[in-house]
Amino acid sequence: MKSSTGARPSPPPIRTQHDSAGAHASADFSALAPQLVYLPPADIELVRDAFYVSRDAHAGQFRKSGEPYISHPLAVAGILSGWHLDAQALAAALLHDVVEDTAATTEDIQARFGKAVAHLVEGVSKLDKLSFANEEHAQAENFRKMLLAMARDVRVILIKLADRLHNMRTLGDLSAEKRKRIAAETLEIYAPIANRLGLHAVYQELDDLGFRYLYPTRHRVVMKAVRAERGNRRELVEKIRETIQEKLDQAGVDATVTGREKHLYSIYKKMQEKNLGFTEVFDIYGFRVVVKDVPSCYLALGVLHGLYKPIPGKFKDYIAIPKANGYQSLHSILFGPQGTPIEIQIRTQDMHRFAETGVASHWMYKSSDAALSDVQQRTHRWLQSLLDIQADNKDSPEFLEHIKVDLFPDDVYVFTPKGRIMALPRGATAVDFAYAVHTDVGHHCVAVKINHELMPLRTELRNGDHVEIITAANAAPNAAWLNFAVTGKARSHIRQFLRTAKAEESAQLGQSLLENALKALNPEAPPPSPVLLQKLLRETNSKSADELYAEIGLGRKPAMVVAHQLLHLMGDETGRTPHPMTVTIRGTEGVPVELASCCHPIPGDPILGFIHKDRGLIIHTHDCPAIHNFRADPEKWLDVEWQAAPGSLFDVSIKLVVANQRGVLARVAAAISEQGSNIGNVAMQEEDGSPYTALYFTLKVEDRMHLARIMRALRQLPDVVRIFRMKGRREGRAQSQ
């Protein structure tokens, strides 16, 4: 049999009792069949076949409500038929739980229904057969798989949304705990996806159902208030609608005017976010004006602005600049009768269809309309960005975190230097813009011009900003950018760069530590041969030499232990553990080498290096009180010494006891500045009734000699009674200089 969806494979590996007798059981299919009139007969047969396979596979299975399980996939297919999806998607909807809940496999489905249907089923299926560290990881991995399948074929998410919509409609039969968990997931993930794809009606229903089951008491209160207020408003709403319709008719604008109400969850969110009372939110009357073409939209806007005065700053033109999901309309809030706010949406019939069905419009309305093409292009760009983020994030929870950021609906529209419009999430900064332009632009950005003025990279962008990124070839991402970057793409690429840089730096340090440890154990030991290195990798369960060196550099594998393993493989185990050779430290190595914050070592201090499991090599002063407990474990510490690094500055803490005199802080700060040091932090502690005050400074110094010059200069001030360099976390551990 042939159909518009391709050849049907034969013979079928999945057997059902209806394979040759579908006619006598056609009544089972009667609930769905009337909705499939838009499909060719051959495609209807494919859907019918999928129905019988699903029904027989789920035979004996029941939902919590007591209904046969087949009622669920049948309802999902019914929702999708309302969006006019093709036969492959409808077949996959009917079969989407077969692999998960029965003995049938994806290969069985592919053999009978073809590769496309099998891929759709696989994309929708959960990963229950795999084991995960915790429920959060499992949810993140399920979501990650679904999004990646969706990026290749958007029908996956349409099936999943229909599946979630029917599950939410029948959620009342589950336990309270499960209801709340599923409702929270729906509000956090699935409703925003529906909104992001322009499925407005689905988005609103998922929002309201999620609100109902996650906050049942609040839902009842808001619902009761809405019903009570609706009766009071009905007459006024109808009067305003008639006035608007009459005015548009007089102006010759062919339009349909309808009143519209906010859905419950949007009312609740606005009350929460803006700390408003119910009547303050519900006092906004909403109307939708649907006209025949784009010029009529602007003509209607002019008519309504003449009828009621617009509220300044409350007009948005989403026709000229559509939302990221392709949504188009004119929005304006007006002063209505007796000062009542009126929210108006003006759009064409095509825009209205797209606003309600979003990306599903591709199947519902076969058209070459440019707006439809734009919806598809925007959706494709967003889906492609998911693949870009996935490429940089193998960790599922982190991937989920990045995706959630991109699901927020509020967008900011800014202009590139060439006048191209770019949409970014609200709260996005110049760094987010740089990464949106190109990854390399983000990696090398150093400054930004916003509206032709130099601004910091952390500057939050606003609608209409003209943004120009300034780059430098030697620039690189900074970990501090993660404090203000908000888009998934920017955060993903920054973290990936930092991870790569950390791995390379850790590998260099680890190789040096291993070489030093090997020479300490056996000064005559030759460098390991490639064959020996492969044996060592197997011994240490490492995939590559770089991974092994990075593990050593990060302190996860002690260099002395690995050196012993290497010597053992060489057949030259010495049986003794000499003192490790000295490692040189510049103090600017970065992630794998860290200067301890408890003692603030500076060049010139005698120092020791301690290997920490996750933080790498931590440098302490020899007399730091914090290392007392570790001195007895020789495998945990290394002798290290400073290597000259001109121009580097280091933090050091000092304490001064000074006479409680007017202007003493200014005199001390001036003396520090005269010695070429900057003050990073200052604190003051004054005892009641005491003639003395304690001043605590964190200074930037080049080395121990520089600190000594500063302290000599401070001692010469008549107000200074005593001066200490702070080591350790308590004042009692301060050391006098």
Per-residue model confidence (pLDDT) at position 650: 87
Dihedral angle over CA of 350, 355, 361, 362, nearest 10: 90
Model confidence pLDDT, tens digit, residues 663-713: 888 899 999 989 989 888 888 887 666 788 899 999 989 888 999 999 999
Range of weakest confidence among 343-347, 403-407, 637-641: 403-407
Contacts of 566 (CB under 8 A, 6+ apart): 514, 518, 525, 528, 532, 536
Which residues have a Cβ under 8 Å from the Cβ of 30 and sit 6 or more positions away? none
SS3 state at 622 = coil
pLDDT at residue 152 in the model: 67
Q: Count other Cβ atoms within 10 Å, centred on residue 317.
A: 15
Question: Binning pLDDT at 50, 70 and 90, where does residue 3 land?
Answer: very low
Q: Residue 330 forms beta bridges with which residues? A: 317, 346
Q: Is 255 left (phi over 0), alpha (psi -120 to 50) or beta?
A: beta
Domains recognised in the chain with CATH numbers: 2-216 (1.10.3210.10), 217-366 (3.30.460.10), 498-642 (no CATH), 650-736 (3.30.70.260)
pLDDT at 130: 38
Is a pLDDT exceeding 50 seen at residue 440?
yes
**Mean pLDDT value across residues 162-187:** 89
Strand partners, 447: 470
Q: Is 18 helix (H, G, I), strand (E, B) or coil?
A: coil
Q: Could you tell me the CA-to-CA distances from 261 to 192, 290, 342, 570, 694 in Å, in that order?
A: 20, 16, 12, 79, 64
Q: To the nearest whole number, what is the mean pLDDT of the chain?
A: 77
Distance in angstroms (rounded) separating the CA atoms of residues 509 and 584: 10
User: Given phi > 0 = left and psi -120 to 50 = alpha, else beta, which region is 647?
Assistant: left
Phi, psi angles (nearest 5°) of residue 735: -120, 130
The three-state secondary structure class of 593 is strand
In this model, does residue 353 exceed pLDDT 70? yes
Instruction: State mean pLDDT over 558-583.
Output: 60
Distance between CA atoms of 542 and 294, rounded to whole angstroms?
Answer: 63
Which two structure tokens, joined as six digits, stand for 173?
A: 């039969």
Catalytic residue among 19, 28, 45, 101: 101
pLDDT above 90 (res 245): yes
Residue 187 has pLDDT above 70, yes or no: yes
Percent of the chain with pLDDT over 90: 18
Local structure of residue 372 (DSSP, 8 states): H
The CA-CA-CA angle for residues 44, 49, 53, to 5°, reads 150
Compute how many other C-beta atoms are within 10 angstroms of the C-beta atom of residue 522: 17
- 639 pLDDT exceeds 80? no
Amino acid at 263: H
Per-residue confidence (pLDDT) for residue 277, from 0 to 100: 74
Most confident of 134-148, 204-218, 685-699: 204-218
In degrees rounded to 5, what are phi and psi of residue 493?
Answer: -70, -35
> What pLDDT score was predicted for residue 365?
47
The predicted-structure confidence for 92-111, as pLDDT tens digits, reads as follows: 999 988 887 777 788 888 88
Which helix or strand (DSSP H or E) is residue 313 part of?
Answer: strand 310-317
What is the pLDDT, as a whole number, of residue 526? 81
Instruction: Catalogue the E-assigned strands of 632-703.
Output: 637-642, 650-659, 678-686, 692-701
For residue 238, indicate whether it is catalytic: no
Give 248-259 pLDDT, tens digit per residue.
Answer: 999 999 999 988
Contacts of 736 (CB under 8 A, 6+ apart): 722, 723, 724, 725
Which range (181-185, 278-282, 513-517) has the least confidence? 278-282
Reported as type and span, the H/E element at residue 262 is none
User: What per-residue confidence (pLDDT) applies to 412?
Assistant: 75
Query: pLDDT-based confidence at 442, cuts 50/70/90?
Result: very high
189 falls in which pLDDT band (50, 70, 90)? confident
The pTM (predicted TM-score) of the whole model is 0.52
Whole-angstrom distance, CA of residue 269 vs CA of residue 271: 5
Q: Is 212 exposed, middle or buried (0-12, 13-18, 19+ CB in 10 A)?
A: buried
pLDDT digits (tens, 9 = 90+) for 462-500: 877 889 999 988 888 887 888 888 887 888 888 888 777
Q: Which of 19, 100, 229, 317 is catalytic?
A: 100
Q: CB of 529 within 8 A of CB of 582? A: no
Active site annotation includes 100: yes
Q: Length of the chain, please?
A: 737
